[in-house]
Amino acid sequence: MTRTCFVAGSPIAQSRSPMIHGRWIAELGLDAAYVRIEAQPDALPGLLARVRNGELLGGNLTKPLKEAALPALDTLTDDAAALGAVNTVFMDRGALTGANTDVPGFFAHLDETCPGWQRSVDQVLVLGAGGAARAVIYGLLQRQIRQILITNRSAARAQALIESFGGLVRAAQIAIVPWPVPSAAMASSQLVINTTSLGMVGQPALALDWPERLDGTIVYDIVYVPLETDLLLQARRRGARTVDGLGMLLHQAATAFGFWFGTTPQVTPDLWAMVAADITRTAG
């Protein structure tokens, strides 16, 4: 019997998840399929019922379903509970379970691209205060980073994000810096992470007050359309090490695949190149 997984949300036609998971299904020789499902929150009860009764093996949820699904689930993984959002659903020992793969996806790619990065990172600058920033900061707190700076167009939203972590945050561990980002904050940080959509195709540019040099600094942009954002281009010109957002997408997918099929596939250069070529073709 063919086991079917899905990605659901709206709009969903642009999702590259079927390409990614389809590649792994073929490589592993599984009798399985991965499909897109256009869905608004009112369709969630029926969709999740199909997972519960075994008609669907599991799936990914994207906007606007990540928070709407929470009341319908039996249990959450620790990451999903902490972040208040799910992007992966599956059955686990009879329980309809929600997971969030943002944290493992982000850090798997960073660990792979910059091995041992934590040994030289004392301060991290995070651009943005939305859901992606929450996942990144939650992971940084778990990694016990000494100092985290947040900058966001709304300082009130940044403050609310800090307060939402409660006891996870030590005194003075997180601070807010003004927007636009002061060059001094970039220059003093060993890791700079853009979690906003600024710089994405169709979005305004990310305007920064750049320091002259960023030698040794790691700059990570979770945006992956375009593959090389202006942030990464400018950072590289100043001597920074750069990390693209596509790797995070692929590692997130690998973690989800493991929940469904019990094996976590490899994120290979060939897979990266295949998806990168599709992004270049469609974004061009």
Active site residues: 66
- Is 242 buried (19+), middle (13-18) or exposed (0-12) by CB count in 10 A? buried
Residue 79 host element (H or E): helix 78-83
Report d(CA 59, CA 63) in Å as an integer.
13
Report d(CA 55, CA 219) in Å as an integer.
43
CB atoms near residue 252 (< 10 Å)? 25
Report d(CA 140, CA 163) in Å as an integer.
16
SS3 content of the chain, % helix, strand, coil (to 5): 40, 20, 40
Nearest to 5 by CA among 84, 85, 15: 15
Token pair of 137, please? Answer: 């900061």
Round the CA-based radius of gyration of the chain to a whole number and report it. 19
CB atoms near residue 93 (< 10 Å)? 7
